[in-house]
Amino acid sequence: MADNGAYTGDMRVATWNVNSIKARLPTVLDVLKEIDCDVICLQEIKCETDAFPYLEIEDLGYNCAVHGQKSYNGVALLSRHPLEDIRKGLPGDDGDDQARYIEALVLAETPVRVGGIYLPNGNPAPGDKFDYKISWMNRLEAHARELLALEEPFALAGDYNTIPRDVDCWDIAVWRDDALALPETRQAFQRLKWLGLTEAFEAADGRAHEYSFWDYQAGAWQKGHGIRIDHLLLSPQAADRLESVEIFKKARGLDKPSDHVPVIAVLGDA
DNA sequence: ATGACTGGCCGTGCCAGA
């Protein structure tokens, strides 16, 4: 796709867990058109790299970088600008066969590095899956530290499977002992912020009881029983440009929806 | 109402998700 070198203005960066891109392609295409973003990180595409619907998404004007896997997980990065320095998997992922991280340098007028994240769920906790979640978060922290040393604008956007605060879910009594809210999970998330990263929604909005996920079960959407687990963490150079965050809640009310909705950070001029 | 789902897969139930 051609990069319009004359373009200046806001840069819209989104994250969205689509819960299978094949089962939902028409919906995904409609939502992508409506949210009008420059960069979109997709999670749970649930297809192998070669099976990604490149043509349909390129038709919307996006370049695609895809790190796929059969049946489970899988992440993709869509960009209206050229992509460079594509990385698939976190450093230290040797022997980890789960496709949960993709990163690229987005060649906007001011280049921005973007990492797309599908952090492990971690249930049941305690157990092997929870240990994997925490070790994955530790590897992410180590990589974030390396990126921060570059002193460049970057965003780590994705499904963090982390409820940061009690008010980021509909009833903390229900979620307190879940892998998404356990102290060890929150502390690992907090360590990312202590490195110097800014959680975009918290910084730009911060309201309680704003959600990005509603379970398919038990009428959770109709009852407003949601949780906020999809986040964008910004480097200082990106956080300085943060203007607003939008949660595209409308996507949850569509036919055949994903259980997550897009979360969008708007960055102003560099 | 102690109820209520969805996607992928060589599958007619099970695993995984959150």
Measured distance CA(A195)–CA(A198) in Å, rounded: 9
pLDDT tens per residue across span A104-121 = 999 999 999 999 999 999
**Number of structural domains in chain A:** 1
Domain residues for A19? Answer: 11-267
Nucleotide showing the shortest C1' distance to residue A175 CA? B18
Would you say A193 and A199 are in contact if contact means Cβ atoms under 8 Å apart? yes
Tell me, yes or no, whether A6 lies in a domain.
Answer: no
pLDDT at A1: 45
Nucleotides of strand B within 7 Å of the protein's CB atoms: 3-9, 16-18
Q: Residue A2 domain-assigned?
A: no
Looking at residue A270, its pLDDT comes to 78
Q: What's the pLDDT score for residue A93?
A: 73
A123 CB less than 7 Å from any atom of strand B: yes
**What is the CATH number for A189?**
3.60.10.10
Shortest CA–C1' contact from A43: which nucleotide? Answer: B17
Confidence of residue A8 (pLDDT cuts 50, 70, 90): low
Asked if strand B comes closer than 7 Å to A27 Cβ, the answer is no
- Helix ranges (H only) for chain A are 25-35, 54-58, 128-149, 172-175, 183-194, 200-204, 220-223, 236-239
Is the CB of A168 less than 7 A from some atom of nucleic acid strand B? no
Residue A4 falls within a domain, yes or no? Answer: no
Residue A229 lies in a domain: yes
What average pLDDT score do residues A32-44 get? 98
Is residue A179 in a domain? yes
- Per-residue pLDDT at A94 exceeds 90: no
Task: With respect to residue A3, please indicate whether it lies within any of the assigned structural domains.
Answer: no
- Residue A153's nearest CA partner among A90, A101, A201, A196 is A196
Find, among A263, A261, A240, the residue nearest to A252 by Cα: A261
pTM score, two decimals?
0.95
A184-204 pLDDT tens trace: 999 999 999 999 999 999 999
